Amino acid sequence: MTKEIDLNDIETYIKALHCPIRWDIIKIIKDEPKTSEEIYNTLKHAHNDKVAKNNNCEGLCLHAHHKKLKKPTLYYHLRELENAGLIEGKKLIVESGIISKEKQWELIIKTLKIDFK
């Protein structure tokens, strides 16, 4: 989905996207939905190609803090992205019709256009 915003709406998206870990979350789920646990594990292993871009990182780049990431912090970032309408978390239905406590996160805005007029 493409979302067009004007200058009155831009603050919401700047707030939601100001943090590097949130951009990494978007990179992780851009191709297919992932569970909270899958996102957490990918971030914790920041050497993953979907997250770290610099092979010479040695823990000095912005992605080094992912190794210290706690689950409550991840959930906070997921909620902020969801509150901005960028991602959506859906509860999974597992076998026997039981609803899982864990959500699967999906990127719902693929393109964000800003009208500066």
Beta strand 87-93 with 34-35 is: unpaired
Q: Which residues pair with 3 in a beta bridge?
A: 112
Q: Which residues pair with 87 in a beta bridge?
A: 107
The mean per-residue pLDDT over the stretch 87-92 comes to: 89
Confidence of residue 3 (pLDDT cuts 50, 70, 90): confident
Q: Cα separation of 41 and 71, whole Å?
A: 10
**pLDDT value for 68:** 78
17-57 per-position pLDDT tens digit: 998 999 999 999 999 999 999 999 999 886 555 555 544 44
Q: Cα separation of 61 and 4, whole Å?
A: 32
Q: Cα separation of 90 and 15, whole Å?
A: 23
In order of their start, the domains of the chain are 2-112 (1.10.10.10)
Confidence of residue 4 (pLDDT cuts 50, 70, 90): confident
Q: What is the pTM of this model?
A: 0.78
